[in-house]
């Protein structure tokens, strides 16, 4: 049973005409499913409700074709034809007695309207904020009137779709209503621009319109960014945001407050710790009597209790913690705190939305597969007869595969060559800023260690002979991968002969401490283009080296744009004094001089380099697999039925991909066993 300390989290909260069943509030967040995958979207939101979130919101929902986020998969409520898709969401949420909320959005100059070809709207004429060669036009009075009508119409459609809470949204530097509030976007000279009251006018009008239209049965919430972290250049929590909330204090039924833009709101654990928004949102309750919801990547129920008790928040908002563990509230309720699968703050979920595909999650491999593959994060089919499984390698893929199989009731043996569990996660979580990534290992270990049907062995590097000797029927090789030292990657598709002379260290070497004591200057060559090289540059700089960062890409770590980190990463390297040489490939090495070539002209330049940290690509650790496949004829006699490679050993990728691969392997093994059983029954 749960500790009474947490009872406060299960109190209902009145929000205008509706009441929540507890204080767990899944705030609006993108899923990459939206209007294009409505059943997946509904199943995902329904899972949150099943897991105990008292309120479950959609993502931003386009209210009109002039707010067309194509190719992103957000929700859409352009007209009545969009109602049935959203009804799937409300039904899925209501099936578990939770409230369904919708975040209505008009994206103003944040959209280029690539599909509808509408001219984008803005308070003042301006170029849109994507790279599209498109300009938004300044809204005239007729446009403003039309916009107000669209918002009301969308709110009515939302009510018809069954939503309980309807948002008026001014956040993330993505919405027309926020653009009207901000001086840098609003240079109007009429009653909608200029002084504070005028800039607030449209927001106030739309809030009142929405209340009038649907406020009888639906709560009307405001989502407001209270700080943009831009100092005097932007909205500040202690200046304009305080004025806005004071001016509208009790007009909405609820305030949902956060930071803007999205990269500030959803900071990764590399750059911000749990609760990083608190200093900005703490004041809100002192200027309104309405309930307040806020976020901060909260996974600790003790922190949640503190926030409520201190009068900071009434409802604990969560996007990422609810993705990593849709059942977090129920686990608190049932006193199963050790089962909470904590978000690691990596933003791989965000990358799904940013690449316009259903999201994925490092910690929760079932996410966005609730409908497509019928995966439940907590429920697995039970094995009718336990089978024997051997998993070789205790990294994220091996641990996850072992967990799925063991939970289904199979007997699992897990062998790990090194003297620690976690594989690459254990290495990488020691890098600066990545400590929370260790949760990938810790949660799985916590689960596995209490299961009687799991045998776990450290210091057990297995060979093909060992595996055949064991004779365990089902074998998964999760033996990981290692970084290449020969330069092979995207820019150089073949090994570079001169790398043999270049005093190269790979990321594996650096993570094993081999950079310490090496001679500088250090050049980090990044053709991987995500986080690793930038962190190693930080490590090298922290050791007092002169560091140059060379990359064929145009910026440092371009893929980290999808995780909202690129700006922070490049800023950090600049602040550390790292010289950045973009758009260059490797060209040669001789006596402490690295030659790099411009990716366009081929012109070379020389860089002083005593140690080259090469971050290009990885090779699977598949020696055991190759030895076993060469001896496939011996498997049956040895009692081995199947051998599969999973995770990085199959094809190196993200940690999220390794976890997903381990999970898929476990599920597919269960599915296969079921099919075989059914075949046998048919044969009988």
User: What sign for the dihedral angle of Cα 361, 364, 365, 368?
Assistant: negative
If binding means CB under 6 A, how many residues of this protein chain bind ligand SF4? 13
In angstroms, what is the minimal distance from the CB of 372 to ligand SF4? 18
Cβ distance 45 to 37 under 8 Å?
no
Q: Smallest gap, in angstroms, from Cβ of residue 186 to ligand SF4?
A: 33
Nearest to 83 by CA among 108, 66, 58: 58
Residue 393, binding choice from ligand ADP, ligand SF4, none, Cβ under 5 to 8 Å by partner class: ligand ADP
Residues with a catalytic annotation lie at 30, 169, 172, 265
621 binds, among ligand ADP, ligand SF4, none (CB under 5 to 8 A by kind): ligand ADP
Q: What pairs with residue 88 in β-bridges?
A: none
Q: Which of residues 431-490 bind ligand ADP (CB under 6 A)?
A: 460-462, 478-481
From candidates 56, 200, 349, 415, binder to ligand ADP by CB under 6 A: 415
Size of the site for ligand ADP (CB under 6 A): 26
Q: How far apart are CA 106 and CA 421, in angstroms?
A: 48
Q: Among 107, 114, 120, which residue's Cα sits nearest to residue 75?
A: 107
* SS3 assignment, position 460: coil
CA–CA dist 313, 269 (Å, integer): 22
Q: Which does 267 bind (CB under 5 to 8 A by kind): ligand SF4, ligand ADP, none?
A: none
DSSP code, position 17 = T
Nearer to ligand ADP (CB atom), residue 192 or residue 660 = 660
By a kind-dependent CB cut-off of 5 to 8 A, residue 362 interacts, out of ligand SF4, ligand ADP, none, with ligand SF4
Are the CB atoms for 164 and 101 separated by under 8 Å? yes
Residue 329 contacts residue 52 (beta carbons within 8 Å): yes
Shortest spacing between CB 285 and ligand SF4, in angstroms? 27
Cα separation of 81 and 74, whole Å?
A: 16
323 is a contact residue toward ligand SF4 (CB under 6 A):
yes
C-beta closer to ligand ADP: residue 523 or 661: 661
Q: Find out whether 573 and 538 touch, Cβ atoms under 8 Å.
A: yes
Does the protein bind ligand SF4 through residue 560 (CB under 6 A)? no
CB of 650 vs ligand ADP, minimal distance in Å: 8
Q: Are 57 and 87 in contact (CB under 8 A)?
A: no
* Three-class SS state of 105: strand
How many CB atoms lie under 10 A from the CB of residue 98?
Answer: 28
Which of 127, 337, 417, 435 touches ligand ADP by CB under 6 A?
417
Strand partners, 526: 615
Distance CA(113)–CA(96), nearest Å, equals 36
The interface mask with ligand ADP, positions 479-498, x = CB under 6 A, is xxx-----------------
In the complex, least distance from residue 523 CB atom to ligand ADP, rounded to whole angstroms: 26
CB of 52 to ligand SF4, least distance (A): 17
Nearer to ligand ADP, 287 or 401 (CB): 401
Please state, in angstroms and rounded to a whole number, the distance separating the CA atoms of residues 147 and 62.
12
Which CB atom, from 38 or from 398, has the smaller least distance to ligand ADP?
Answer: 398
Rounded CA separation 563/543 (Å):
27
- Indicate the DSSP class of residue 557: S
Q: Note whether 131 and 65 are within 8 A (CB).
A: no
Residue 320 binds: one of ligand SF4, ligand ADP, none (C-beta under 5 to 8 A by kind) = ligand SF4
Among ligand ADP, ligand SF4, none, the one that 86 touches (CB under a kind-dependent 5 to 8 A) is none
Segment lying near ligand SF4 (by CB under 6 A), choices 157-165, 305-313, 340-348, 411-419 = 340-348
Q: Is residue 349 a contact residue for ligand SF4 (CB under 6 A)?
A: yes
The reply on whether position 272 binds ligand SF4 by CB under 6 A is no
**CA distance linking residue 76 with residue 119, whole number of Å:** 18
31 in contact with ligand SF4 (CB under 6 A): no
Span near ligand ADP by CB under 6 A; candidates 49-57, 122-130, 386-394, 433-441: 386-394
Structure tokens at 432: 């600066």
Which span (44-52, 58-66, 343-351, 374-382) binds ligand SF4, by CB under 6 A? 343-351
**What does the DSSP assignment read for 308-365?**
HHTTS-SEEEESHHHHH-TTHHHHHHTT-GGG--------HHHHHHHTTS----SS-T
Chain Cα centroid distance, residue 531: 14
Write down the least CB distance from residue 468 to ligand SF4, Å. 38
Shortest distance in whole angstroms from residue 368 CB to ligand SF4 = 11
CB of 349 to ligand SF4, least distance (A): 3
Contact flag: residue 344 with ligand SF4 (CB under 6 A): yes
Q: Is residue 343 involved in binding ligand SF4 (CB under 6 A)?
A: yes
Q: What is the chain's length?
A: 684
324 binds ligand SF4 (CB under 6 A): yes
Which one of residues 295, 340, 348, 537 is an interface residue with ligand SF4 (CB under 6 A)? 348
Helix 396-407 vs helix 655-683: crossing angle, to nearest 10: 30
Are 178 and 171 in contact, with CB atoms under 8 Å apart? yes
Contact at 8 Å (CB) between 256 and 294?
Answer: yes
Q: Does 396 bind ligand ADP (CB under 6 A)?
A: yes
Q: Does 171 bind ligand SF4 (CB under 6 A)?
A: no
Residues in 356-415 that interact with ligand SF4 by CB under 6 A: 361-363
DSSP character at residue 255? E
208 vs 418 by CB, closer to ligand ADP? 418
Task: State the nearest-atom distance from the C-beta of 548 to ligand SF4, in Å.
Answer: 31
Q: Which of 317, 395, 489, 666 binds ligand ADP (CB under 6 A)?
A: 395
Contact segment (CB under 6 A) with ligand SF4 among 81-89, 250-258, 299-307, 317-325 equals 317-325
Measured between alpha carbons, how far is 227 from 172 in angstroms, rounded to an integer? 10
According to the binding rule CB under 6 A, does residue 418 interact with ligand ADP?
A: yes
Look at residues 497, 429, 509 and name the one whose alpha carbon lies nearest to residue 522: 509
- Binding ligand ADP (rule: CB under 6 A), the pick from 59, 621, 645, 664 is 621
In 121-250, which ranges are continuous DSSP H helix? 141-161, 176-181, 196-214, 240-248
For ligand SF4, which stretch binds (CB under 6 A), given 208-216, 337-345, 414-422, 524-532? 337-345
- Integer Cα distance of 106 and 123 in angstroms: 12
Q: Contact between 47 and ligand SF4 (CB under 6 A)?
A: no
In which element (H, E) is residue 92 found? Answer: helix 83-94
The partner in contact with residue 361, picked from ligand ADP, ligand SF4, none with C-beta cut-offs of 5 to 8 angstroms by kind, is ligand SF4
In three-state secondary structure terms, 454 is strand
656 binds ligand ADP (CB under 6 A): no
Residues in contact with ligand ADP by the rule CB under 6 A: 392-398, 415-418, 423-424, 460-462, 478-481, 621, 624, 647-649, 658
Residues in contact with ligand SF4 by the rule CB under 6 A: 320, 323-324, 343-349, 361-363
């Amino acid at each position: 049973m749960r500790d009474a300390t947490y009872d406060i989290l299960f109190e209902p909260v009145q929000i205008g005409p509706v009441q929540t069943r507890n204080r767990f509030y899944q705030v609006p967040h993108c899923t990459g499913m939206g209007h294009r995958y409505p059943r997946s979207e509904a199943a995902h939101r329904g899972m949150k409700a099943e897991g105990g979130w008292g309120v479950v919101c959609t993502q931003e929902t386009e209210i009109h074709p002039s707010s067309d986020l194509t190719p992103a998969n957000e929700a859409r409520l352009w007209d009545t034809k969009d109602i049935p898709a959203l009804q799937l969401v409300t039904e899925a949420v209501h099936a578990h007695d939770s409230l369904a909320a919708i975040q209505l959005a008009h994206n103003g100059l944040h959209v280029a309207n690539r599909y509808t070809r509408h001219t984008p709207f803005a308070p003042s004429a301006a170029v849109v904020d994507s790279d599209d060669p498109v300009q938004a036009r300044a809204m005239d009075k007729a446009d403003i009137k039309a916009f107000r009508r669209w918002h009301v119409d969308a709110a009515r459609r939302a009510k018809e779709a069954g939503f309980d809470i309807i948002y008026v949204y001014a956040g993330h530097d993505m919405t027309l209503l926020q653009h009207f509030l901000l001086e840098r976007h609003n240079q109007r000279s009429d009653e909608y621009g200029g002084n504070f009251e005028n800039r607030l006018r449209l927001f106030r009008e739309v809030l009142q319109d929405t209340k009038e239209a649907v406020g009888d049965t639906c709560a009307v919430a405001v989502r407001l960014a209270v700080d943009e972290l831009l100092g005097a250049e932007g909205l500040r929590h202690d200046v304009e945001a305080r004025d806005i909330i004071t001016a509208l204090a009790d007009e909405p039924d609820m305030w949902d407050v956060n930071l803007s833009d999205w990269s500030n709101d959803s900071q990764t654990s590399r750059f911000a710790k749990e609760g990083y928004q608190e200093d900005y949102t703490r004041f809100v309750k002192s200027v309104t009597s309405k309930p307040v919801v806020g976020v901060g990547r909260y996974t600790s129920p003790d922190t949640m209790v503190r926030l409520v008790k201190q009068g900071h928040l009434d409802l604990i908002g969560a996007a990422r913690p609810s993705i990593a563990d849709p059942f977090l509230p129920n686990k608190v309720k049932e006193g199963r705190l050790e089962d909470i699968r904590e978000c690691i703050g990596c933003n791989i979920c965000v990358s799904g939305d940013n690449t316009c595909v259903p999201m994925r999650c490092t910690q929760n491999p079932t996410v966005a597969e609730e409908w497509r593959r019928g995966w439940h994060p907590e429920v697995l089919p039970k094995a009718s007869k336990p089978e024997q499984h051997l998993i070789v390698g205790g990294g994220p893929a091996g641990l996850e595969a072992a967990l799925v199989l063991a939970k289904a009731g199979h007997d699992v043996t897990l062998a790990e060559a090194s003297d620690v569990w976690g594989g690459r996660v254990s290495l990488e979580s020691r890098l600066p800023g990545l400590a929370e990534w260790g949760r990938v290992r810790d949660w799985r270990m916590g689960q596995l260690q209490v299961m009687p049907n799991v045998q776990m062995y450290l210091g057990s590097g297995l060979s093909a002979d060992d595996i055949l000797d064991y004779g365990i029927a089902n074998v998964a090789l999760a033996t990981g991968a290692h970084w290449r030292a020969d330069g092979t990657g995207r820019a150089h598709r073949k090994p570079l002969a001169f790398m043999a002379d270049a005093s190269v260290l790979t990321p594996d070497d650096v993570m094993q401490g081999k950079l310490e004591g090496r001679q500088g200057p250090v050049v980090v060559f990044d053709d991987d283009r995500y986080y690793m090289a930038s962190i190693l540059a930080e490590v090298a700089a922290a050791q007092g080296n002169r560091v140059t960062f060379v990359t064929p890409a145009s910026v440092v770590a371009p893929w980290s744009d999808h995780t909202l980190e690129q700006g922070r990463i490049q800023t950090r390297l600049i602040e550390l004094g790292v010289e950045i040489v973009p758009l260059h490939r490797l060209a040669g090495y001789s006596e402490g001089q690295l030659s790099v070539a411009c990716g366009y002209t081929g012109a070379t330049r020389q860089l002083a380099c005593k140690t080259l940290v090469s971050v290009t690509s990885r090779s699977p650790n598949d020696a055991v697999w190759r030895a076993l496949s060469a001896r496939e004829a011996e498997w049956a006699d040895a009692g081995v039925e199947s051998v599969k490679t999973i995770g990085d050993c199959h094809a190196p990728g993200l940690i999220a991909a390794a976890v997903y691969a381990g999970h898929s392997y476990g599920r597919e093994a269960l599915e296969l066993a079921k099919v075989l059983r059914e075949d046998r029954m048919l044969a009988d």
